[in-house]
Amino acid sequence: MVDIKELNERIKNESGFVDTITNEMNRVIVGQKHMINSLLTGLLTGGHILLEGVPGLAKTLAITSLSKIINAKFNRIQFTPDLLPADLIGTMIYSHKSEEFLTKKGPVFANFVLADEINRSPAKVQSALLEAMQEKQVTIGETTYKLEEPFLVLATQNPIEQEGTYPLPEAQVDRFMLKVIIDYPKKSEEQLIIRQNIAKEFPEVNSMLGTEDIIRAKNLVKEVYLDEKIEKYIVDIVFASRNPEDYGLAEYKNLISFGASPRAGINMAMAAKAYAFIQHRGAVFPEDIRAVCKDVMRHRIGLTYEAEAENITSENIITGILNTVEVP
C-alpha cells in the first residue's frame, strides 16, 4: 500500500523548484501560463511537444528561457524545404590531416531542440528527427550515439500558412506527447508585452538549476500515485474515441475516422502525473486527467469528411467524451 500522506508531503517538499522555474519564466513571458505548464510537463516526463500558433507568441523565447534557467544546451533548427537529414543529425566528414572520417554531430545533440516550422521540410527530414525523439539515439555511419538527458523536442507549426508545406503524417504526429494550441494574449497582457519590449533593458532569466535536478525530478514524477479507478477512467476516455456508440455517443460514429492510439493512454497518465507534481500533489485526481486530456488527444483523433463539412473539430469530440464518460 502507498502511504499517500507521506508521498504528498515528500512531493510538496521536492517540487518547490517548479515555482522557481515558473517565476523566472514569468519575468520574460507575459501570460501564456498554459504553454509554460505544457513545457514543464514535457520536461518532467520526457515527452515532446507540438506547438501550434501564429508567429510572435513567444514560442522560441519560452524554450530558450527554460534552457537558461536549468543551464541546459539549446539548439534551434529552422526547417526549410532544402534541409537534409544530415543537417539535423550530423554526418561523417573526411579529415585530410588525420586521413580518416570523423563524426560531425548535428544540432539534435542538445537538451532542448526547437524544430521551428517542422512542416516546412520533407518527410525524410521529419522522420530523422522523429526517430531521434522516439529512440533517444542517433546513428551516424556505423556508430550509434545516445542523446543527453533531459531531451525535449519542441516543434512548431504555423496554422495559417499551409501552402508549400509537408503536413506531418498521423503516425508521426502520434509521437508527440502533447499538441498545444497557443492563442493571442489578452489586452492587458499585450500592453505589458509592448512596455517590456520598448524598455531600456529586456529582462533576463537566471540559471537557477542544473540538468541533474530535472533528472531527479523525472524519477520523482514516476512515484506520483495513480489509482486503479483513474487508470480505468483514462481507458474509458480512450475507448470512447474508438467505439463512441458503447458510451452513448452514437452520433460520433460517423464523425471519427480513427480513435486514439494506445500512446494516448500512456501519455495521459504520464502528463496527469506531471500536472499533479506541478500542483505539488502526490496523487492524480480526475481533474488532472481533464486538464491534460485535450492536449494529449487532439492530434490523435481522425475526423471524417462529414465532421469537417459540419465544422466539428477533434476538440468538440473530446469535450463530448469528457462530458459523457463517468468520472470516478
The CATH number of whichever domain residue 166 belongs to comes to 3.40.50.300
Query: Which residues lie across from 115 on neighbouring strands?
Result: 77, 155
Together in a domain, 124 and 255: no
Together in a domain, 28 and 150: yes
Which pLDDT score, from 0 to 100, does residue 230 have? 94
Which pLDDT score, from 0 to 100, does residue 161 have? 64
**pLDDT tier for residue 290 given thresholds of 50, 70 and 90:** very high
pTM over 0.75: yes
**Tens digit of each residue's pLDDT (9 = 90 or more) over 73-130:** 889 999 888 888 889 888 888 888 887 888 888 899 998 899 888 888 888 888 888 7
CB 190 within 8 A of CB 183: no
Q: Is residue 174 part of a domain?
A: yes
**Tens digit of each residue's pLDDT (9 = 90 or more) over 153-177:** 998 887 766 666 777 877 778 889 9
Together in a domain, 32 and 163: yes
Together in a domain, 159 and 260: no
Share of the chain above pLDDT 70, in %: 98
The closest of 219, 220, 223, 241 to 294, measured between CA atoms, is 241
End-to-end CA distance of the chain: 20
Which range marks the domain in which residue 166 is found?
Answer: 4-199+208-213
- Residue 20 confidence (pLDDT) above 90: no
Together in a domain, 58 and 97: yes
Share of the chain above pLDDT 90, in %: 27
Last residue of a domain, one of 170, 188, 213: 213
Which pLDDT score, from 0 to 100, does residue 209 have? 82
Last residue of a domain, one of 213, 248, 270: 213
Q: Is residue 220 part of a domain?
A: no
Q: Is residue 219 part of a domain?
A: no
Last residue of a domain, one of 213, 243, 268: 213
Together in a domain, 313 and 233: yes
Together in a domain, 66 and 131: yes
Amino acid symbol at 274: A
CA trace torsion 105, 111, 115, 116 (10° rounding): -120
**Tens digit of each residue's pLDDT (9 = 90 or more) over 25-47:** 888 888 888 888 999 999 999 89
**Tens digit of each residue's pLDDT (9 = 90 or more) over 132-154:** 888 888 888 788 889 888 888 99
Which pLDDT score, from 0 to 100, does residue 1 have? 65
**Tens digit of each residue's pLDDT (9 = 90 or more) over 233-260:** 999 999 999 999 998 888 888 999 898 9
Domain count, the chain: 2
Together in a domain, 187 and 231: no
